Chain A
Amino acid sequence: MAVFQALPRTPENCYLVIEAKRFGAGVEGALGQGKGYVEALGVPRDVVVTDGIRYRMYAGSSQFEPVAYANLAWLKRSAGALFARMQRP
C-alpha cells in the first residue's frame, strides 16, 4: 500500500510504501517486493515492511538500508525513531 503526503494520490505525492506479510511469514523477506513498487513508481521513497506487529523501515534514498524498527508487541527505545519517521509531517 502507499501513503500520500498530499492529494491527489499520484506517485509523486507518495510518502512511503508499505508491504505487508502475514504474521510469521517474515517481514524482512518482503523488502524486494516493496522495492519493486518503489521502482515502478519512479520516485525514491522509503519502504516499510510489516506483519502488522513488526515494522521495519528501509531508506529509499540510501539503497534501502534498514533505518528504523519497531515491534509493537515488544517496544524498545529505538522504536521511537520509527514512529517519528512514519508520523505524518
Chain B
Amino acid sequence: MIVRGRPVWQVSGGPASRSYAEMFLKYGVALIGPGDAGPWTPERDDNEFEGGFVRRFASEVAAGDVFLLRTGIATLAAVGLVASDYLYVNAFDDVNGWDLQHARRVRWCRLPEAQAFESAAFGANPPRCSRVWNKAVVDFAERFVNSPPTHWQTASLPAILDEEPPLEDVPDALRGIVAQTGDLVPLLQDRQAFGEPPSEDELIAHFVVPFLRALGWPPWRSSKPCPAPQRTATS
C-alpha cells in the first residue's frame, strides 16, 4: 500500500506514569478521551470535549490514514493504519483510570525500538491527537508503511475488549467509602475549584485506611512505613 500523501496523525499513548499504549496494541485500537462526555456527533460543541481533539479524531481522520503511537514528547512506539470509522466503545471507560471511549480500529506495527525525533517534532506540548506536518516525521511514516514487511497492514484485527457490567451489589460494609469516593472524584477533577490535589498521606488517612477498616482490618493491623526486616547479627 503506497501511502504517500495520506494524512499522518499522532495519537498519544498517555503519560509515562499512567500509559495506555499497550491497550492500543493489544486490542488494535487508538483511543482518546474525555469519553465520559458521551459519543461525539457533529452537533456537539468542542467545549464538551475539552477542545477539538475528539472532533478531529472522529470526523477528520479517515480509514487508511496513518497513525503514529506517541509515547513521549517526540517518541514513537508503533505505526498503524486506521481501519474503521469513529466508534464509541464503552468497554474503554476505565483504562488505568482514563475514560477513553472514543475509538478507531487500527492495524498497528510495533517498532522494534522506540523512534525518537527532535523535541518539537509534534509541537512543544503535543495534544492527545493531531495531524502531523513535520517533514521528518511524515517522511519516516511514509517510508515505514511503504517498506516491507507489510503483512501487518492486512492482518486480522484483534477482538475488541468486551464491556464489563457494573458491580450491582456493593458489599454493605463498603457502601460508605464508595459513596464518599463518588463525592470526591468530581471535586478533584475541578482543579480550579479544589486547588492542589490531596497528598498521599491525606488519601491514606481519609480513603485507604477506611477502606481497610471496611474490609475487616482493625487499625492496629496496619503500619506505615512497612516494618524493617529483622537482620541477623554478624560478627
CB within 8 Å of B: which residues of A? Answer: 1-5, 7, 9-11, 14, 17-18, 20-29, 37, 40-42, 50-55, 71-80, 83, 86-88
Contacts and interface: CB of A to CB of B under 8 A. Distances in A.
A73 B182 contact: yes
Interface residue tally on B, bucketed by range: 35 or more
Nearest to B165: A77
Contacts of B222: 1-4
A87 B208 contact: no
Nearest to B163: A76
Q: Most chain-A Cβ atoms within 10 A of its Cβ — which of B15, B18, B185?
A: B18
Q: Which among A21, A41, A76 has the highest number of chain B CB atoms within 10 Å?
A: A76
Interface string B139-177: 000000000000000000000000011111011001001
Interface in B181-216: 181-182, 184-185, 188, 197-200, 203-204, 206-208, 211-212, 215-216
Contact of A80 (B17, B167, B226): B167
A26 B204 contact: no
B204 A41 contact: no
B226 A14 contact: yes
B215 A37 contact: no
Given A29-B17, A86-B215, A1 B208 contact: yes
